[in-house]
Amino acid sequence: MKTEVILTSNIVGLGGESDQVKVAAGYARNYLFPQRLAIPLTQANKRRLEVLRQRRADREAHEFNTMNELAKAVSKLICVVTVKTGEDGKMFGAVTSGMIAEQLKTQFDITLEKRKIHLEHPIKALGEHEVELHLHADVKGTLKVRVESSTPPPTPAAEAAPAEARREEGREGRPERRGRRTEGEKPTDRAGAAGEKPGTARPERGTKSDRPAKAEKTSKTEKPSKSEKVG
């Protein structure tokens, strides 16, 4: 059974002040009337319609101004939402309107119903996203949402450290080369030749000028000179 009532307050999904609506009799009797959200539709109560209409106009004007100012304020904000990601940078789950509403309250002390945060699809990627807000029937706004990972990727310095450690380990496990030639050293300058005992000095070879001259060969039979023959 339905009964007709006059709403005295704004009820989402039902109507605003001064609206005449039909509701279930039990709903009106057990909830609307005790909460003073509605009054029965009678000739006496119809006289209150003008007062209710004015009160509704004042409320809607206040809501419009408030939401308009809020739209200007949130357009300058960046709401940061931190999520968990895997090693490949992909998110676990997605960012919802409820998460954004929670962060607006935490970061900026702005209370906004999640139904006013319009997401066509949940956000599933890191970075900045522009989210549309339906603040009022005549007021819309935008909010920048930055989705960040709670586990940022390692820095280049952190990646270089293990590589350097691996190179050091490779050097330690590699046998040291002996007899490495230093800069400017000639092969003949190395101490000792192969098979030569250390501590023994090699005899120096003399130059051609230092060698003793060979005795000139004399002929086996010397010819006498002319003077000897005469005598």
How confident is the model over 57-72, as pLDDT tens digits?
A: 999 999 999 999 999 9
User: From CA 52, how far away is CA 10, in angstroms rounded?
Assistant: 11
Beta partners for residue 167, in sequence order: none
Cα distance between residue 17 and residue 22, in whole Å: 14
pLDDT of residue 12: 86
Condensed to tens digits (0 to 9), the pLDDT of residues 147-204 reads 999 876 655 555 555 656 666 665 655 555 555 554 555 545 444 444 445 444 454 5
59, two tokens: 């409320």
Band of pLDDT at residue 37, cut at 50, 70 and 90: very high
Q: What is the spatial distance between Cα 93 and Cα 82, in angstroms, rounded to a whole number?
A: 12
With residue 226 as reference, give the H or E element that holds it: helix 226-230
- pTM across the whole model: 0.55
CATH classification code of 71-149: 3.10.430.100
Query: Domain 2-70 carries which CATH code?
Result: 3.40.5.10
- The answer to whether residue 206 scores a pLDDT higher than 60 is no
The closest of 14, 103, 18, 10 to 63, measured between CA atoms, is 10
Pairing of strands 38-40, 117-118: unpaired
- Cα 104 to Cα 74: distance, rounded to the nearest angstrom: 9
pLDDT, the chain, mean? 78
Residue 78 near residue 130 (C-beta atoms within 8 A)? no
Convert 48-75 into a string of H (helix), E (strand) and C (coil).
CHHHHHHHHHHHHHHHHHHHHHHHHHHC
Element (H, E) at 6: strand 2-7
Contacts of 164 (CB under 8 A, 6+ apart): none
User: pLDDT at residue 76 above 70?
Assistant: yes
- Measured between alpha carbons, how far is 212 from 161 in angstroms, rounded to an integer? 70
**Could you tell me the residue ranges of all domains in the chain?**
2-70, 71-149
149: its two tokens: 């990972």
- The C-alpha angle 62, 66, 81, rounded to 5 degrees, equals 150
